[in-house]
Copies of this chain bind each other. A is one copy, B any other.
Amino acid sequence: MLKSPLSLGATIGILGDGQLGRMLSQAASRLGFKVVIFGPDKESPAAQVSLASKVAAYTDEAVLARLAESCDVITFEFENVPASSLDYLTGKGAVVAPSSKALRITQDRVLEKSFARDHGIGTVDFYPVDSLDDLYAALRQSGLPALLKTRREGYDGKGQVWIRSLDEAPAAYDSLNGRPSILEAKASFTREISVVAARGWDGQVKTFPIGENHHVGGILSTTLAPANVSPAVSAEAHDIAKAVLEGLDYVGVLAVELFVLDGDALLLNEIAPRVHNSGHWTQDGCWCDQFEQHIRAVAGWPLGDTSARCTIEMTNLLGADILAWPDLSAEPASRLYVYGKDDPRPGRKMGHINRIKSV
């Protein structure tokens, strides 16, 4: 628990050293905070723009202890940080947000969806799978096709496989190497949207306008925001985000990905306990972007203005897409963000561009 708002010049620690940490760090600096990055890579995207970095495994207790000592608040940019590392930091007297409880629930797809249901939020039908027998039993209930995923980790389409006939079950099961899994029924959705929202230590909640997401090959390709959704869908999506934030007793920014069904019912797809790719549009579409909002929330500052200045289309630059920077940087009414990664291997998130769509 943070006793009072962080003062100017306070130090914020960030677990995770990728582009989300980079943009969090820049937002924190803009508010006058100093930033220490904790992550496995030297000269990482986040470390490049931060006062200091500690290069270590997330489980390195000696380095975690030093981080706890040097930071006024510690947060994370990466949902696969071990929850036990957060507990260790808390045990060393550090103020950590979001909490390890929120992280534990959202790290496990079964716990996450169960949490949603317990809070009156719809999800696709789902079944824990710990054996091939479980999988066959689940498939009989889910119908086909259905999606088998690992319960933990996996993102951008990794660690998941579609099952289109019972024959495919054994190979699908084997492909996940016996890891605890979840079978999800197919959602017949018409659109995918997400809500990025924040909650402060004092319980104040603010949500950003809805984004509509388009995935290609399981990876987010574009977000258009504010999305053209009905007031009813928008209101329900915001209510869901609020229920999630409050149910998790969450402090910071999170993203809730939702399926919009025919008839506009909403199902929760996933909770990301961090700033999220589908919120990058806020950098140019809102006065307070998601990165600054997260920093404000964990620092105990007033949450910022989330109203939209204009409609933005955010496009991810994956792998070799970034090599088009000479053309991308010449486009008017747009802003290019490059993450400082060396190797543009296929599918790797190298940057994004925000383009204005309408004022």
Residues on A facing B (Cβ under 8 Å): 5, 8-9, 22, 25-26, 29-32, 34, 43, 47-51, 284, 287-288, 296, 301-302, 304-305, 307, 309-310, 322, 325-326, 329-340, 342, 351, 356, 359
Contact = CB atoms under 8 A, between A and B. Distances in A.
A340 B34 contact: yes
A9 B332 contact: no
A302 B326 contact: yes
A339 to B, nearest CB: 7
Given A329-B304, A351-B32, A338 B287 contact: no
A288 B356 CA distance: 13
Contact of A9 (B309, B337, B340): B340
B8 A29 contact: no
Contacts of A30: 26, 335-338
Contacts of A32: 322, 325, 338-340, 351
A357 to B, nearest CB: 13
B29 A287 contact: no
Given A305-B332, A309-B310, 9 more contacts: A9-B342, A22-B29, A30-B335, A34-B340, A47-B51, A287-B335, A301-B326, A307-B332, A359-B359
Contacts of A31: 329, 336, 338
Contacts of A49: 25-26, 29, 49-51
Contacts of A51: 43, 47-49
30 contacts: A8-B322, A8-B325, A9-B340, A26-B29, A26-B30, A26-B49, A29-B49, A29-B340, A30-B335, A30-B336, A30-B337, A30-B338, A31-B329, A32-B325, A32-B338, A34-B48, A34-B340, A43-B51, A47-B51, A49-B50, A284-B287, A287-B332, A287-B334, A287-B356, A288-B335, A296-B329, A302-B326, A302-B329, A304-B329, A305-B331
Contact of A338 (B5, B8, B50, B332): B8
Nearest to A339: B32
Nearest to A32: B338
Contact of A287 (B25, B287, B333, B351): B333
A304 B333 CA distance: 9
Given A287-B332, A296-B329, A329-B304, A29 B9 contact: no
Contacts of A340: 9, 29, 32, 34
A26 B309 CA distance: 22
A46 to B, nearest CB: 10
Contacts of A338: 8, 30-32
A326 B1 CA distance: 19
Contacts of A26: 26, 29-30, 49
B333 A305 contact: yes
A302 B284 CA distance: 20
B301 A329 contact: yes
A114 to B, nearest CB: 37
A307 to B, nearest CB: 7
Q: Which of A5, A329, A336 has the most CB of B within 10 A?
A: A329
A330 B301 CA distance: 8
Nearest to A336: B31
A209 to B, nearest CB: 15
